[in-house]
Chains A and B, each alone.
Chain A
Amino acid sequence: MNDERNAMVKAQAPTFQEMIFALQRYWAAQGCAVMQPVDTEVGAGTFHTATTLRSLGPKPWAACYAQPCRRPTDGRYGENPNRLQHYYQFQVLMKPSPVNAQELYLGSLAEIGLDATAHDVRFVEDDWESPTLGAWGLGWEVWIDGMEVTQFTYFQQVGGIECAPVPVEITYGLERLAMYAQDVDSCFDVVWCRDPEGRELTYGEVFHENEREFSTYNFEVADVAALRQHFDDYELQCQACLDRKLPLVAYDCALKCSHAFNLLDARGALSQTERMNYILRVRSVAKAACVAWMEASDTKAEVA
């Protein structure tokens, strides 16, 4: 590709924020409530209550939102063009899954500058499982010209509870999609937005320093003893909230536990057995919160 065409592609491609706008508008038009991200550290958009808890129970639900995610072990101090410990997912959840879920998804690609008819789009088997959420589902990773850009999953179980009806979860990797649409090789070169004069703000200007600092913290500074204590404390808080029938707060505590575990993992502080034990502990609080939430919504349904 010559430079001129290159420049043209970049100018025509949506900016990072335009992609989020476009996806929100598109899915809102399909009946999704546009949510805002959950304000607790999570490893994936799936952990948002709008996905985890709302996947459960008989009531229909449709929502979409951009979710900042933290995966401490993926940090590379901002030195790797493809890896970040903090990144964005755009998440769609529809329950029950509509018959045309795949077609709706393909339609959304055109909205962010990727016309599915001009690319090689594949649905490649990828069974999804979250040991910490006690959740699993079947579906695919979606490839565009060989690049994995989306996870597409029909949830079967969440929090150890069967999903009925079945929700479909569509998770876009926003940085990857933006890199592809804007034809840049480093996520730090992604154009976040342009002002009316055409001046660009890049993803790197927004987050590069953040990557360096948090990678340093996650790998070198985070206090292991304090993190273990945080984990224990939130586990107890979760129990206390469950006792008082406050499942939403209990679930929030489970998320805190999960993040403390992720940091301990990044610090390399856990042996294999210990790691397994922590995962089981997160799973049991997350499951308990899900079960409590189901019970609470059953009670409400009876009252109504």
Chain B
Amino acid sequence: MITKDFLLEIGSEELPSAPLDAASAELPKLLGAALDEAGLAHGEIRVVSSPRRLAALVSDTACATEASTQVFRGPKVAQAFDADGNPTKAALGFCRGKGVDVGALEVVEFKGEKHVAVTLREPAKQASELLGPLSEGVIAKLSWPRSMRWGSTTERYCRPVRWIVCLFGDDVVDVRFANIASGRATWGHRVLAPGEHEVPNPSAYLEVLEHAFVLDHDARAERIRAGISELEGELGLKVDTPASTFAEVVNLCEWPTVLAGHFDERFLEVPQEIICEAMLKHQRCFPAFNADGSLSRTFILVSNGDPAHSDAIVEGNERVVRARLDDAAFFFAEDLKVSMEDWLEDLAQVTFQEKLGTLRQKVARMEELAGEVARLAGEDDVTIERAKRAAHLSKADLVSQAVVEFTSQQGVMGGHYARAAGEDEVVAEAVAEHYRPRYAGDELPGSVVGSAVAISDKLDTICGMFAIGEPPTGSKDPFAQRRGAIGVIRLLERMPSASLRALIDTALGLYQAQGLEFDRAEVARAVADFFSGRLQTMAREEGAQPDAVAAIAHTGVVDPAEFLARVRALEAARAEAAELMDDLAQAFLRATHLADPSLGTDVEREALEGAELSLYEATEAAERDVDAALADNRFADALAALAALRGPIDRFFEDVLVMDEDPRARTRRLVLLNRFAAPFAGVADFAALAKTS
């Protein structure tokens, strides 16, 4: 097979970073599928990308498809021709479908029957003819989060397409998109090698790019990393390069030069969180830290400019950073002049939610709720008071100038202001951390006080939204109730004695006290169900079996630590003694199917005999043991106590006819089965386990 390399480069105006990375992953899939569909064998597909281009290099692409011959079987001969030997409608339709005359029909034998058939020969197709239309299809199929039109054309792409290079070996493949015709000219770096650069063939592509001062994605990332580590060594610093900013920086240049800039010593008095945010989010620069972990006055920037002008570029960036930090320092200094109590009063003007009132009201509720969390967690009065105090101060920074400007530092700044105002360190830290966890895998607050405030914040929002009938829906969750619930769950896991149902009730009571009208019991149930749903999802994500999760959920337990411990215990018991647990579940199901709950559980003990009596005694013992085990949260023991019922129940079903003709005996046995099922209810829904096994 004769092969050549293939190149498709889509040149455009600067593509945004995240969509560019996504398209870089999509392009080889689309192109590979298109080549396969066209029947063109090909080697490896390599993606090359920069802000102004998305390209694919395909090695060893077949110059032509394989020729093929295929026989298509039609109707039986008997049905293809009438008595006079004329073709029937069926035969004519078959010919039309295959695009041949009746004369082309042959006869083949299939399962002992003669059928008409046609043989179609598909000649080999030239890759040079297939690659153009195929490439046009791929360009149009790339999926962008947002696409656009430009000029007078109607085609869509992420940003305007400006050139297309399409080469098969040494030859240009004709590709047209949005009034652009392909050629062999790519465009170089805007400043270092502006204008067109001819690509003689695909294998020369990367070299031409490098001469035009354009590096592929990975080469840029590598060069930036190397540049940073060189500067780290030179300056004795450690540079912080968070993945999201780093990914963006790589896609904001074609020819990176890593440079170090500095800002004035005096800015180090500004909380470093704002400096880092200004660097990373606003300037796409990286902050650098001294060996002792403190922030240095050096920052790292990656330039796409002419290295000959690096001094001026650093100087320019320093000016911009200075202006930003000046702003930040000004805001911080101004903020320090205001007391947090004044801000708290300003919160009375800020709406939390139309129906739920102002942020000032939210803070008042949080104080009570945070205190209750600490109390239920068994903390002493000092800690309870600290939780209330931290909740009181938690939202004050939202109206500070620094947070209005650097929104993501909410809480963190409040911590600084609380500390500056002489608040207890635990309180200040709790204010700083109370938004945590902010995303999956985020750290939790370090202290009980911080956790109490964090729980009160999230739970207050969830309960309020449910109270006004606005729980999260599939498409709408503007107050991040789902994330909040996961946060509450993770926090309460560490405080097993704080009952979630009690806290929900307290939170709802605070809304009622504020004058909000709703059915407290019903909303409490809905909130608990919502938490149960999140818990079930989390347990399944931990790897628990869905039926085990459902079995525990049916008990109505919503306290996170207990819920998850029960699921784990049940999973462990099933893993250890699968047959026993399965058998027990089947027996339970059989018992509950037969049982008639209206008969109650008062067993007529004196009348029992044989297998009845031993089941009754075993049940009594199990009741005792389960109660004791549950009281101590020993779920494995509770399951073991139930497991002890397996022998007696099996024997009971073997020896005794439940539906006896004697109504007294029947009733006695049904009541006994009711009694047997009772201890299960508090442990897990065994019916749910039986259904799937």
Residues of chain A within 8 A (CB-CB) of B154 are 164
Could you pull out 29 A-B pairs where Cβ atoms are within 8 angstroms? A81-B326, A96-B150, A96-B151, A97-B150, A102-B13, A106-B190, A117-B191, A120-B305, A120-B313, A121-B190, A121-B305, A124-B252, A125-B17, A140-B14, A145-B305, A145-B319, A146-B284, A146-B285, A146-B321, A154-B148, A154-B149, A156-B148, A164-B154, A165-B152, A166-B148, A166-B149, A183-B319, A185-B326, A268-B349
- Interchain nearest-CB distance for B12 vs A (Å): 11
Give the distance in Å from the alpha carbon of A180 to the alpha carbon of B315 in the complex.
11
A residues in contact (CB < 8 Å) with B: 1, 80-82, 96-99, 102, 106, 116-125, 127, 137-138, 140, 144-147, 154, 156, 164-166, 168, 180, 183, 185, 268, 271-273
The interface residues of chain A lying within 8 Å CB-to-CB of B285 are 146
Give A183 to B285 CA distance when docked, in angstroms.
22
B residues 238-286 touching A (CB-CB < 8 Å): 252-253, 283-285
| Residue B306 lies at the interface, judged by CB distance under 8 Å to chain A | yes
Chain A residues near B536 (CB, 8 Å)? Answer: none
B316 CB–A CB distance under 8 Å: yes
CA distance A280 to B323 in the complex (A): 35
Which residues of B, 635-693, contact A by the 8 Å Cβ criterion? Answer: none
Contacts of A146 in B (CB 8 A): 283-285, 301, 316-317, 320-321
CB distance from B531 to the nearest CB of A (A): 28
Can you add 16 more A-B contacts, CB < 8 Å, to A1-B315, A98-B151, A123-B51?
A: A99-B151, A102-B13, A117-B309, A120-B316, A120-B317, A122-B304, A127-B146, A145-B312, A145-B315, A145-B320, A146-B317, A154-B149, A154-B160, A156-B149, A164-B149, A185-B323
* B354 on the A face (CB < 8 A): yes
Contact B317 A145 (CB under 8 A): yes
How far in angstroms is the closest Cβ of chain B from A176? Answer: 10
Min CB gap B693→A, angstroms: 53
A144, B151: Cβ atoms under 8 Å? Answer: no
- The complex places the Cα of A102 from the Cα of B12 at a distance, in Å, of 11
User: Which residues of B sit under 8 angstroms from A123, Cβ to Cβ?
Assistant: 13-14, 51
Chain B residues in 8 Å Cβ range of A120: 303-305, 309, 313, 316-317
- In the assembled complex, the Cα of A154 lies from the Cα of B178 at a distance in Å of 16
State whether A166 and B191 are in contact (beta carbons under 8 Å apart), knowing that A119-B316, A154-B160, A185-B323 are contacts in the complex.
no
Report the Cα distance A168→B191, complex, angstroms: 23
By a CB distance below 8 angstroms, the chain B residues around A96 are 150-152
Interface pair B150/A166, CB less than 8 Å apart? yes
Which of B146, B319, B327 has the largest count of A CB atoms less than 10 A from its CB? B319
Report the Cα distance A1→B152, complex, angstroms: 48
Task: Give chain B residues whose Cβ lies under 8 Å from the Cβ of A185.
Answer: 319, 322-323, 326
| Contacts A146-B283, A268-B349; A97 near B160 (Cβ below 8 A) | yes
Give the residue name and chain of the A residue nearest to B179 (CB).
A99
Do A144 and B316 have beta carbons less than 8 Å apart? yes
Please give, as numbers and ranges, the residues of chain A lying within 8 Å of B301 by CB-CB distance. 146
Within 117-137 of B, Cβ neighbours of A (below 8 Å) are at: none
Smallest CB separation, B409 vs chain A (Å): 19
With A96-B151, A102-B13, A127-B146 known to touch, is A119 a contact of B313 (CB < 8 Å)? Answer: yes
* Residues 150-175 of chain B, each 1 if its beta carbon lies under 8 Å from chain A, else 0: 11101000111010000000000000
Contact between B160 and A145, CB atoms less than 8 A apart: no
B:211-261 near A, CB below 8 Å: 252-253
Contact indicator A272/B313 (Cβ below 8 Å): no
Are A272 and B354 in contact, with the CB atoms below 8 A?
Answer: yes
A147 to chain B: which residues have CB within 8 Å? 316, 319-320
Most B Cβ at <10 Å: residue of A1, A118, A121, A183: A118
Q: Which of B16, B253, B321 has the most CB of A within 10 A?
A: B16
Q: Report yes or no: A180 in contact with B323, Cβ–Cβ below 8 A.
A: no
Residues in chain A near residue B191, CB distance under 8 A = 116-117, 121
CB of B514 within 8 Å of the partner chain: no
Contact A82 B190 (CB under 8 A): no
**A-chain residues with CB within 8 Å of residue B283 when the two chains form the complex:** 146
Chain A, Cβ-Cβ closest to B313: A120
Of all A-B residue pairs in the complex, the 4 with the closest CB atoms, nearest first, are A145-B316, A125-B16, A120-B305, A123-B14
Q: Of all chain B residues, which has the CB nearest A102?
A: B13
Q: At the interface, yes or no: B330 with Cβ under 8 Å from chain A?
A: yes
Closest Cβ of chain A to B468, distance in Å, is 13
CA distance A248 to B401 in the complex (A): 40
Closest to A272 in B: B351
Contacts of B159 in A (CB 8 A): 138
Question: Which chain B positions have C-beta within 8 A of A168?
Answer: 150
B351 and A271 contact, CB distance less than 8 A: yes
Please report the C-alpha to C-alpha distance between residue A102 and residue B14 in the assembled complex, in whole angstroms.
Answer: 10
Q: Report A90 CB to chain B, min CB distance, Å.
A: 20
Q: How far is the CA of A147 from the CA of B285 in the complex (A)?
A: 12
| Residue in A closest to B18 when the chains form the complex, CB atoms | A125
Q: Which residues of B contact A98 (CB under 8 A)?
A: 151
Residues of B within 8 A of A268 (CB): 349
Known: A97-B160, A272-B351. A138 touches B148 (CB 8 A): yes
User: Which chain B residues lie closer than 8 Å to A271 at the CB level?
Assistant: 351, 354
Residues of B within 8 A of A1 (CB): 315
Query: B319 to chain A: which residues have CB within 8 Å?
Result: 145, 147, 180, 183, 185
Residues of B within 8 A of A140 (CB): 14
- Which chain B positions have C-beta within 8 A of A124? 14, 252, 284
Contact B252 A273 (CB under 8 A): no
- The CB with the most chain B CB atoms within 10 A, among A1, A117, A146, is that of A146
Q: Given the complex, which residues of B lie within 8 Å of A106, measured CB to CB? A: 190
Distance of A185 Cα from B325 Cα, bound (Å): 13
- Contact indicator B309/A119 (Cβ below 8 Å): yes
What is the CB-to-nearest-CB distance from A198 to chain B, in angstroms, rounded to a whole number?
A: 26
Task: Specify the chain B residue showing the minimal Cβ separation from A184.
Answer: B319
**Chain B hits for A118, CB < 8 A:** 305-306, 309, 312
Give Cα A271–Cα B349 distance, bound, in whole angstroms.
9
Say how far B67's CB is from chain A's closest CB, in angstroms: 43
Residue of A97, A145, A180 with most partner-chain B CB within 10 A: A145
A139 CB to closest chain B CB, in angstroms?
8
Chain A: which residue is nearest B156 at the CB level? A156
Identify the interface centre among B14, B306, B326, B354: most chain A CB within 10 Å of its CB: B14
Query: In the assembled complex, which residues on chain B have CB atoms less than 8 Å from the CB atom of A121?
Result: 190-191, 304-305
**Complex: A147 Cα to B319 Cα, angstroms:** 9
Cα separation A140 to B149 with both chains bound (whole Å): 15
- Bound-state CA distance A123–B252 (Å) is 8
Q: Determine the chain A residues whose CB is within 8 A of the CB of B151 once the complex forms.
A: 96-99, 165-166
Task: Report how far A35 CA is from B159 CA in the complex, Å.
Answer: 29
Give Cα A156 to B149, complex, Å.
7
Of B148, B253, B303, B316, which one neighbours A180 at CB under 8 angstroms?
A: B316
With CB as the reference atom, state the residue of chain A lying closest to B355. Answer: A273
Q: Who on chain B is nearest to A79 by CB?
A: B330
> For the complex, what is the distance from the CA of A96 to the CA of B301, rounded to whole Å?
36
Beta-carbon nearest neighbor of A1 in chain B: B315
Residue of B whose beta carbon sits closest to that of A273: B354
Contact residues of B between 296 and 353, Cβ < 8 Å to A: 301, 303-306, 309, 312-313, 315-317, 319-323, 326-327, 330, 349, 351
Question: Which residues of the partner chain A approach B309 to less than 8 Å between Cβ atoms?
Answer: 117-120
